[in-house]
């Protein structure tokens, strides 16, 4: 493997993860499985919380898609519980997501160089990475919102000017446009800021700097970054669809949830790992990694034997990817 391409990124990701399978299994159990469970179980939690039925658990087991009660018909205490649930749920998702990104990116970065990968070291990296990731997330969310708002206002302006879509009402067109805009935003973010969180972890930067740095590193590789992002997003979306498909039988519904949670956790692991590998390849593409490799081998690991399952052929990757 000597070129920067879609399959090369996935192959290198698989190799590093397999070389430290127990380590990444532990990180998945700590962060990704709870995260996947919260993401997939959100409708169930919300229904259980807002359903004034005397036994909502029984209702949920009998039907995976009971009808939601309208918020205006709920008592005040149910509305307060719903608001509290949203706050706690969002905070839990944010902490688990950033912790997973920090620990997995840290591990893949060191595994790429063939360094020892330890669980204690990955957990300790949270103390320096978590607050940087939190601040960068605020900037990321703000610019994402402004970018989405600009697209949406453009659509509304077109509709206010009287432009009509044949045989499509505004009520039917709006969800389609929102879905399309969401896809455009995802593509734009992945093509420009897809490496921002990895940069926060590996380069100890935060705020706007990782966003600018990501845009620079992705020059010449935006198509591959978008392909990788859409690939993993499609896989996660497919599992979300599988998890909400209506089925008969409590046993099958439980098995369906367990399978979905496990698969989504695995996909999230590969997605974060592939993003970190993409970062390393982009550094090589910009001519930044060759010196780092030479320094690494010359000073720290000159007396250590190379392990074929770690990163011995890394030099060939750099030679193939480095810009002339």
Beta-carbon contacts of residue 65 (< 8 Å; ≥ 6 apart): 43, 244, 246
For the stretch 257-288, pLDDT in tens is: 888 899 999 999 999 999 999 999 898 888 87
**Cα–Cα distance measured from residue 41 to residue 57, given in angstroms and rounded to the nearest whole number:** 13
Is residue 223 in some structural domain?
yes
Is residue 93 in some structural domain?
yes
Contact status, residue 222 vs residue 191, Cβ threshold 8 Å: yes
Q: Which domain holds residue 236?
A: 6-321
Query: What does the block give as tokens for 263?
Result: 């698969």
Contact status, residue 99 vs residue 31, Cβ threshold 8 Å: yes
Q: What is the mean pLDDT of residues 217-246?
A: 86
For the stretch 61-110, pLDDT in tens is: 444 444 444 444 556 766 677 778 788 888 999 999 999 999 999 999 98
Is residue 52 in some structural domain?
yes
For the stretch 170-226, pLDDT in tens is: 555 666 666 777 777 788 888 888 899 999 999 888 888 999 999 999 988 888 999
Half-sphere exposure of 149 (CA within 13 A, CB side): 6
For residue 219, count other CB atoms closer than 10 A to its CB. 11
Distance between first and last Cα of the chain: 18
Instruction: Find where tokens 């103390």 sit.
Output: 127
Contact status, residue 114 vs residue 301, Cβ threshold 8 Å: yes
Is residue 143 in some structural domain?
yes
Is residue 1 in some structural domain?
no
- For the chain, helix (H) and strand (E) counts, in that order, are 15, 0
Is residue 125 in some structural domain?
yes
* Domains held by the chain: number: 1
What is the torsional sign of CA 44, 50, 54, 59? negative
Burial class (CB in 10 A: 0-12, 13-18, 19+), 285: buried
Question: What's the pLDDT score for residue 133?
Answer: 92
Which of 86-90, 111-115, 243-247 is the least confident region? 243-247
Is residue 40 in some structural domain?
yes
**Cα–Cα distance measured from residue 90 to residue 88, given in angstroms and rounded to the nearest whole number:** 6
Is residue 30 in some structural domain?
yes
The percent of residues in the chain predicted with pLDDT above 90, rounded, is 27
Closest CA to 105 of 132, 143, 76, 85: 132
């Amino acid at each position: 493997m000597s070129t920067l391409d879609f399959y090369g990124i996935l192959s290198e990701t698989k190799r590093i993860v397999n070389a430290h399978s127990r380590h990444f299994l532990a990180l998945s159990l700590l962060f990704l499985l709870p995260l996947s469970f919260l993401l997939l179980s959100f409708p169930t939690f919300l229904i259980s919380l807002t359903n004034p039925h005397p036994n909502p658990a029984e209702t949920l087991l009998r039907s995976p898609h009971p009808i939601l009660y309208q918020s205006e018909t709920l008592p005040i205490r149910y509305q307060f519980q719903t608001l509290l649930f949203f706050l706690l749920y969002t905070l839990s998702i944010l902490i688990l997501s950033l912790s997973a990104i920090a620990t997995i990116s840290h591990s893949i970065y060191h595994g790429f160089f063939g360094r020892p990968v330890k669980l204690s070291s990955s957990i300790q990296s949270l103390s320096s990475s978590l607050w940087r990731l939190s601040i960068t997330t605020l900037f990321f969310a703000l610019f994402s919102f402004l970018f989405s708002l600009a697209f949406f206002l453009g659509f509304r302006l077109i509709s206010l000017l009287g432009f009509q879509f044949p045989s499509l009402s505004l009520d039917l067109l709006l969800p389609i446009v929102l879905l399309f805009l969401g896809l455009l935003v995802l593509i734009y973010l992945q093509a420009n800021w897809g490496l921002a969180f990895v940069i926060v972890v590996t380069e100890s930067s935060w705020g706007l700097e990782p966003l600018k740095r990501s845009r620079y590193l992705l020059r010449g590789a935006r198509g591959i970054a978008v392909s990788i992002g859409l690939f993993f997003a499609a896989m996660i979306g497919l599992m979300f669809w599988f998890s909400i498909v209506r089925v008969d039988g409590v046993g099958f519904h439980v098995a369906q949830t367990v399978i979905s949670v496990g698969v989504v956790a695995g996909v999230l692991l590969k997605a974060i790992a592939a993003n970190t590998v993409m970062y390393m390849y982009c550094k090589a593409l910009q001519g930044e990694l060759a010196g780092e490799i030479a320094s690494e081998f010359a000073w720290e690991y000159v007396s250590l034997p190379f392990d074929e399952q770690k990163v011995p052929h890394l030099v060939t990757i750099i030679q193939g990817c480095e810009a002339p």
